Amino acid sequence: MSDLACSSEELLIATIADLLSGCRHIAVGVLSPIPGSAALLARARAADPPRVSIIGSFKEPYRTDGGVDLFDCAAQGRIDAFFLSGGQIDGQANINLTGAGGRYPQQDVRWSGAFGSAYLYFLVPRVILFREEHSRRVFVPKVDFISAPGTSAPNVYRPGGPYALVTPLGVFMFDRARARFRLASVHTGHSVEEIRDETGFEFDCPGVVPPTPLPDAATLALIRGAVAQAIADPYPAFARRMWGVEHAA
């Protein structure tokens, strides 16, 4: 593997970091090592570094007082970006964190629940949806249960909402006015046809879809150096698996 070769995880980290440009405060959940690494990469290469809050980290300056702290910041308009996922995501950016199959509450499969997802979805202006599985099981025509809606009626106060969707195959941007995703780029080794085959919802697609930019040598050096060391605090297993970095107690 050459110096510039990168793993799929490193491509996702660099891609998400590009979407965080200009943010002043980025918040990351407890089960989000790739978005967390992206937030730290955005911080490491910014001339005016943003604040990064990572739930579960005890390392300054990333420590946060759990969800209460984040909810207060979001209500005050002091979080610019956050990450959400779901067992199901549809073409209107609705996410399902509750369960699938059957009719609620007697569903065939039950998940952990929404916690404060809908609250943050309404208040954080740049919510990036992220899933490491790109399949029709995840990206469905219509979610079985709306745990957090992608759009709201015009008379509903909603400064926040979906900004982009990042998967192992490509990047979608969300058009809030049209309530639709648009395919923005395709990762190396994949194609528009593959994305269409693996996506259950309809999306807009330009005539020519560019490839997702690969991280350059400087970006990879940051990911494998400062970012790997920092992310080992809240996500030790991820840092160990990816880069062989151990968390220093």
Q: What is the rounded CA–CA span in Å between residue 187 and residue 60? A: 34
Output 62 or 142, whichever has higher pLDDT: 142
CATH number at residue 230: 3.40.1080.10
* 2 inside domain: no
Which tokens is 42 given? 């955005």
* 3 inside domain: no
Q: What is the rounded CA–CA span in Å between residue 66 and residue 61? A: 14
Tens-digit pLDDT profile for residues 107-135: 999 998 898 899 999 999 999 999 999 99
pLDDT at residue 2, as a whole number: 39
Q: What is the rounded CA–CA span in Å between residue 178 and residue 92? A: 9
Tens-digit pLDDT profile for residues 5-52: 899 999 999 999 999 999 999 999 888 999 999 999 999 999 999 999
* 236 inside domain: yes
Q: Are 143 and 96 in contact (CB under 8 A)?
A: yes
The pTM is what? 0.94
Q: Are 86 and 31 in contact (CB under 8 A)?
A: no
* 35 inside domain: yes
Q: Is 57 exposed, middle or buried (0-12, 13-18, 19+ CB in 10 A)?
A: buried
* 1 inside domain: no
What domain count does the chain have? 1
* 249 inside domain: no
Q: Are 93 and 162 in contact (CB under 8 A)?
A: yes
Q: What is the rounded CA–CA span in Å between residue 162 and residue 117? A: 12
End-to-end Cα spacing for the chain: 32
Structure confidence at residue 66 as a pLDDT band (50, 70, 90): low
Q: In whole numbers, what is the pLDDT of the chain averaged over residues?
A: 93
* 138 inside domain: yes
Q: How many residues does the chain have?
A: 249
Q: Is the pLDDT of residue 54 over 90?
A: no
Torsion region of 47: left, alpha or beta (phi above 0 gives left; psi -120 to 50 gives alpha): alpha
pLDDT at residue 1, as a whole number: 33
CA angle, residues 174, 201, 13, in degrees to nearest 5: 50
Interstrand relation of 106-110 and 126-130 (parallel, antiparallel or unpaired): unpaired
* 203 inside domain: yes
Q: What is the rounded CA–CA span in Å between residue 34 and residue 54? A: 12
Q: Domain residues for 79?
A: 8-243
